[in-house]
A = this chain, B = another copy of it.
């Protein structure tokens, strides 16, 4: 995206005036509404023009056989792709006999606004038809946080200057055509018209469509009902009709100037794998009836309440750059939307804002998004981890197929089965198992949720620990190695002793051992005896962590620093992302880093490195990291801040904060990047807040960059909230009601009493070396410049 920032800058909302058809798809992602169970892209009410129509139910996908040019043992056989469920967004307006279309007639007002506190998308339109009739349209939509399967729209039409007949066609549309849904023809065919009609019914102004997916064999029922009021002299005329793929309620009213037609449309969505069509239909219609009892005002009120509760801890105040303030609340709003009601389903990489990555969840959910949820919305974090736990059966079978013990979680999936066909960066990217274990350990430490640990957490830790035991081996000297795996950086593959993987596996093993000791009876039920616990501990102690003595830096993996450096000097700016211009084998065999890998280890397993090692490693890897992945900048921000390059950290933060709003990777069309949205929070809290979590509690090292005058945020600890208010020279810590807690502020231990603000000063910044240099052309934009647009 080029040009100036298109959005209105406001601390608690994001708005847009006018309409730019070429940017429509991007805006649909930005303005998406979701509760984690149901997602609506911000398509225009009237359906046209449109970028990519999107109405998703978490867990609804279609399956297709995965194609291989040459097959191999253990290659996953079936792919999964999120599909559109019947679309209830549609409200088409006719002004007399002229269809309302922003591309025709005269559009004198077109404003959209996503409100982070209200949880609604509002639209205000004034339009004059080609025949000269002027109308005002106001629509407000929400995807309910209180009613999991419900979306609702209030749609108002007002005649401005002349009498007219306003006719609204309110629809449910199944099997809408999706432009270029997938590059692979076979998948395209799967996604194109994925639903088979099972049943369609009408009751007065209500209608329900029931469909099923042919291969994944899921049933889906979508139901709508309407409350219609008009200020005109006659009652609105309402008729409803249905066919297999369409339900349509037509509402017509004669309006004099100043008259208004108001429609509240409530849509209920249900799906299940093994429920009868009649059962699904009843559930969907029940959800609509339930929401209608609360009424529009009730739905709006519940929405505000849920969000108010969330923002109490999750809000991050940033002073010094209003667009950054907007960006971080935008991010936190979408993270909450993605997970709030996911409830034992996966959270896709794009949330429910688009069908990018086929609707799959990846390791970055646990590594990037889950820490944010754990600290700000722990109930949602728990649900996400319980979903992983519910997929252990699939993960055990996958491990067994691969000849391994324990559980091997899938690289990408919707329902828990491996759905990735690309092995060098998928099947063997085993680190994701440690990332999940890490998320479990962090969640339990943060919340003290002993019930979760016993019911779900321990089993994840045990099965992933068993995986590592079978995956690695001891050398003649007794050192434990993990060979032939791929770390987070996708420009390396099939490497030995990836430092990130080994250190995370080490945490996994020690964490599993400690948890098993805490719950001996549960461990016993999982077949874990003292011997096994000892082996985990011994293996963790024997873990190999390669170090390049000559260069005094940790190699990303054994031998990495001896490899040939990528020829950055002869790589032109238009050859990025490298993966689209060079073959993987060439990237794999040279020193070039797509995304933080060793640097991610510096963050997540920071205690394994000295401060000097971190500083050297950060500089070494910054010179090799091209950030062709959206997952990198946030981590670089965190470590840049830690090693004292605070202004560089600010530049990385600015990049992270603009990835979706500025569409830096030119793929926000397919949905928002949840992990890089989470990265904004990580850069602020772990970067400038210096927040680290360890066995012995939270540590902070708050230090602002020159561009910011204040950062304030909260984190949940147990049932309490710890608020930090960071200004350049001091930090105020405030703990909510509950027990006292000790934390560390730089080298100092503070005992915080609940309700008492503790103010401590920021020590001076130690001398730091030269600002690290990035590959030519790959330095992050300057903070000010990034937000100037």
Contacts and interface: CB of A to CB of B under 8 A. Distances in A.
Interface of A: 66-74, 76, 79, 183-184, 186, 401-403, 420-424, 427-428, 473, 475, 481, 483-485, 493-494, 496, 559, 562-564, 579-586, 588-590
Contacts of A422: 69-70, 72
B493 A581 contact: no
A327 B559 CA distance: 48
Contacts of A71: 183-184
B73 A579 contact: yes
A585 B494 contact: yes
A131 to B, nearest CB: 50
Nearest to A558: B559
Given A69-B422, A71-B184, A423-B584, 12 more contacts: A67-B184, A68-B184, A70-B421, A72-B422, A73-B581, A481-B564, A483-B564, A483-B589, A483-B590, A484-B586, A484-B588, A496-B559
A583 B67 contact: no
A586 B403 contact: yes
A69 B72 contact: no
A558 to B, nearest CB: 8
B69 A79 contact: yes
A559 B557 CA distance: 14
Given A69-B421, A70-B422, A494 B588 contact: yes
Contact of A67 (B186, B420, B493): B186
Contact of A484 (B184, B475, B589): B589
Nearest to A72: B584
A585 B427 contact: yes
A564 B73 contact: no
A574 to B, nearest CB: 14
Contacts of A72: 422, 579, 583-584
Nearest to A484: B589
A402 B483 contact: no
Contact of A68 (B69, B73, B403, B588): B69
9 contacts: A67-B184, A67-B186, A68-B184, A68-B421, A69-B76, A402-B585, A427-B583, A427-B585, A484-B590
B585 A423 contact: yes
Contacts of A427: 583, 585
Nearest to A66: B69
A563 B483 contact: yes
A666 to B, nearest CB: 17
Closest 6 CB pairs of A and B: A69-B421, A484-B589, A67-B67, A70-B422, A74-B583, A473-B564
A464 B136 CA distance: 72
Contacts of A66: 69
Contacts of A420: 69-70
Nearest to A481: B564
Contacts of A67: 67-69, 184, 186
A358 to B, nearest CB: 10
Given A69-B68, A421-B70, A564-B473, A585 B184 contact: no
Contacts of A74: 582-584
A585 B495 CA distance: 11
A748 B585 CA distance: 47
A335 to B, nearest CB: 27
- Which of the listed residues A70, A401, A421, A562 has the most CB atoms from chain B within 10 Å of its own CB? A70
A579 B70 CA distance: 13
A586 B68 contact: no
Given A69-B67, A421-B69, A588-B494, A562 B484 contact: no
A563 B66 CA distance: 32
Contacts of A79: 69
A480 to B, nearest CB: 11
Nearest to A586: B403
A173 B668 CA distance: 55
Contacts of A184: 67-68, 71
Nearest to A482: B589
A540 to B, nearest CB: 19
Contacts of A76: 69
Given A69-B67, A473-B564, A562-B475, A494 B589 contact: yes
A59 to B, nearest CB: 22
Nearest to A475: B562
Chain B CB within 10 Å — which of A72, A74, A423 has the most? Answer: A72
A403 B559 CA distance: 24
A428 B484 contact: no
A76 B494 CA distance: 22
A580 B73 CA distance: 5
A583 B402 contact: yes
Contacts of A589: 483-484, 494, 496
Nearest to A565: B473
Interface centre among A183, A424, A590 (most CB of B within 10 A): A424
Find the residue from A493, A494, A580 having the highest chain B CB count within 10 A.
A494
Nearest to A402: B583
Contact of A586 (B69, B402, B580): B402
A184 to B, nearest CB: 7
Contacts of A588: 484, 494
A534 to B, nearest CB: 22
A72 B582 CA distance: 9
A660 B66 CA distance: 34
A588 to B, nearest CB: 6
A408 to B, nearest CB: 10
B73 A583 contact: yes
B582 A403 contact: yes
Contacts of A562: 475
Contacts of A494: 493-494, 585, 588-589
B424 A582 contact: no
Contacts of A579: 72-73
